[in-house]
Amino acid sequence: MRELASFRPQDELMLIDNLATQRYASLFGLPASCRFMEADVTAPGFEEALAGCFAVVHLAAMTDAAGSIDRAAEVEHNNFEATRCVARAAANAGAAMIHLSSTSVYGIQSAVVDEECGPEGLKPQSPYADTKLREEAWMRENAGQLGLRFVTCRFGTIAGVSPGMRFHTAVNKFCWQAAMGMPITVWRTALHQRRPYLDLTDACCAIEHIVSTELFDGCIYNVLTANHTVDEIVSAIRRRVPELTVTMVDERIMNQLSYEVLDRRIRATGFAPTGSIDGAIDETLRLLGSRAIRTTNARAIA
């Protein structure tokens, strides 16, 4: 939100959240142009805040893919219902909508995948990813009837520092484990699997790009900074924490295969990522404590 406020100082930004994750620190020091409303987007009442709104960025979701295995019904109800509620409220307010999906909807062994992937290339490996795919379908099927302008963005796995950052996704979790002197826990089959990652700054810039260019064309866009193997991520952390150890663990969704995601479609609109997963790792470790950083001239990820 701070990034968006800096991009658009002339606009007022409204943040709506039910604070279920209790990340109250996210609200510290918000710019003067930002307002906050504590509300659940699946319950009546929040729609009034959208009056006069130009665009709605729908980020409300339970996002822990591995954890969603044991909370499938809850994830389905929360995420899918939240998307429907926000879409209807945005349409009623005459606002456009950015719908956030995930590159985890891909789940096929393939050299590369892109937005043109057919059903054979969309094999979500978790209830979270499966719900995201169902949200995409619902948006395509219902936006026209609602009169809603929208775009769907499949974001790569987020990495980078923010006041309310979470540590259940790969890069952030690995940085936390390394900084705390714990072994990095890697899924047994995942070390050499390639995945798309997204620097948090690039994520914010992509949202700003969509709003500024009014890219509400109903299409799906992959948004990522770079594709990396887990081994490349671990190596980048080890260059800063040489004593790092790795423990291989079993997970119920570790059968997901390796693939590289292309982002040519969003680049064709004039957007190009400028962030760095290596930089996100460096900043995260630096802020977690100087004792975690052993070298100052770590080589960047290729």
| pLDDT for position 52 | 92
Instruction: Between 157 and 9, name the one with better pLDDT.
Output: 157
Residues of the domain holding 73 = 2-292
Q: What are phi and psi of 20, to 5 degrees?
A: -60, -30
Number of H helices, E strands in the chain: 9, 13
The tokens for 291 are 């004792």
Query: Is residue 265 assigned to a domain?
Result: yes
Query: Is residue 302 assigned to a domain?
Result: no
- Residues of the chain with pLDDT > 70, as a percent, come to 88
Mean pLDDT calculated for residue range 256-284:
93
Query: Is residue 23 assigned to a domain?
Result: yes
The domain that holds 230 is classified in CATH as: 3.40.50.720
Q: Residue 229: helix, strand or coil by DSSP?
A: strand
State yes or no: pLDDT of 292 exceeds 80: no
Instruction: Between 300 and 95, name the one with better pLDDT.
Output: 95
pLDDT digits (tens, 9 = 90+) for 17-71: 888 888 888 889 888 889 999 999 988 888 888 999 999 999 987 765 555 555 6
Query: Is residue 298 assigned to a domain?
Result: no
State yes or no: pLDDT of 169 exceeds 90: no
Residue with tokens 């992937």, as numbered in its chain: 117
pLDDT digits (tens, 9 = 90+) for 84-124: 999 999 999 999 999 999 998 997 666 789 999 887 778 88
16: Cα separation from own chain's centroid:
17
Q: How many residues in the chain?
A: 302
Query: Is residue 20 assigned to a domain?
Result: yes
Q: Residue 234: helix, strand or coil by DSSP?
A: helix
| pLDDT for position 58 | 95
Mean pLDDT of the chain: 87
The tokens for 96 are 């456009």
Query: Is residue 212 assigned to a domain?
Result: yes
Looking at the 3D structure of the chain, how many domains does it have? 1
> CA 221 to CA 190: how far, in whole Å?
25
Instruction: Between 8 and 207, name the one with better pLDDT.
Output: 207
Instruction: Between 8 and 252, name the one with better pLDDT.
Output: 8
Mean pLDDT calculated for residue range 263-281:
97
| pLDDT for position 256 | 54
Query: Is residue 102 assigned to a domain?
Result: yes
Instruction: Between 142 and 76, name the one with better pLDDT.
Output: 142
Residues 6+ apart with CB under 8 A from 108: 117, 120, 121, 122, 123, 257, 259
